[in-house]
Amino acid sequence: MDFSVAALGGAFPQLLPAMGTNLAISLVAMLLALIGGTTLTILRTLGIMPLNAAIGVVISFIRGTPILVQIFLFYYGLPALGLDLSPIQAGILAIAFNSSIFITEIMRGGLSGMDSGPVEAAIALGIKGKVIWTKVILPQLYIRIMPPLVNELTTIVKGTALLSVITVVEVLRTAQQVANASFRPLETLLAAAIILFAVNFVISQSGRILETRFAARRG
């Protein structure tokens, strides 16, 4: 069987709309992960020992296990607990949970490298903790960690392709369906790969541009 360029080109019209599902999932997951990661980070600075120990175990667990197994845990496990979730919901939750753990670690790194002057000034002025977070620390922190956050977004986009395994009809699963009908698996999957590559390449390159910009701004 020869490689068919026509089959490669013909796959794009069917796959491009499916990529929209990946992007939608990615954005929702990223948003949830940012909220989760920020909450975890603030909780960790409170210095409540048992809580920090528990969060530490969860961080180690999430970082030491494959995201695919985490997706299976959410997809097969949560319904067993009585939570009835669609594959897409389970997938979003699994990815967001995984990502919030990586984001809180990114934030921890960002915090430890931050200039303490503004925070000391805020403490000296008697500003309350909540306000110190929202007005002093977080705005600086998000700018500081923008490059690794963008990197995390590409990880999330890559993670959405794994949801094909739990029957979410995103770009990879669509490619498999198209291939089953056309008997052109390689061409169709290559088309899906090109689409995923293009999206991630644009995200990671803009991350690099941001990095040089912010590096200049930080002086």
Measured N-to-C along each axis, helices 49-64 and 5-45 cross at an angle, to the nearest 10 degrees, of 160
CB of 124 to other proteins, least distance (A): 8
Tokens of 64: 């030491």
Residue of 50, 84, 116, 130 interacting with other proteins (CB under 8 A) = 116
Under 8 Å between Cβ of 40 and 102: no
Residue entry with tokens 């197994």: 69
Of residues 89-108, those binding other proteins (CB under 8 A): 108
Counting residues that bind other proteins (by CB under 8 A) gives: 57
| CA distance linking residue 116 with residue 205, whole number of Å | 31
CB of 204 to other proteins, least distance (A): 6
Q: Is residue 20 part of the contact set for other proteins (CB under 8 A)?
A: no
CB of 4 to other proteins, least distance (A): 11
* Residue 47 or 126 with smaller CB distance to other proteins: 47
Under 8 Å between Cβ of 145 and 18: no
Q: Is residue 3 part of the contact set for other proteins (CB under 8 A)?
A: yes
CB of 44 to other proteins, least distance (A): 5
Interface with other proteins (CB under 8 A): 1, 3, 41, 44-45, 47, 52, 56, 60-61, 64-70, 72-73, 76-77, 80-81, 108, 111-114, 116, 119-120, 123, 129, 132-133, 137, 154, 157-159, 161-162, 164-165, 172, 179, 185-186, 189-190, 192-193, 196-197, 200-201, 204
